[in-house]
């Protein structure tokens, strides 16, 4: 499986677990989506392509503030 596969296996319980990847603008998340789906075989991966910049700009979408 390799180092990358082992690292994801420690974070994601199974290859069927729902995973939603996102980043600030959606570009970096596309790489993670590709790796998880096409190289590592995770079957339930979703990609929020708008990213945090789009989500945070919409006052109608929920936000949770943490310290």
Give the catalytic positions in this structure: 23
- Of the candidates 54, 50, 43, 51, the one whose C-alpha atom is nearest the C-alpha of residue 14 is 43
Find the helix or strand (DSSP H, E) in which 18 lies.
none
Q: Measured in Å, how far apart are the chain's first and last C-alpha atoms? A: 36
């Amino acid at each position: 499986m390799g180092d990358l596969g082992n690292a994801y296996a420690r974070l994601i319980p199974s290859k069927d677990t729902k995973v939603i990847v996102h980043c600030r603008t959606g570009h970096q998340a596309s790489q993670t989506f590709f790796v998880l789906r096409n190289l590592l075989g995770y079957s339930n991966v979703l990609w929020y392509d708008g990213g945090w910049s789009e989500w945070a700009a919409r006052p109608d979408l929920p936000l949770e503030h943490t310290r």
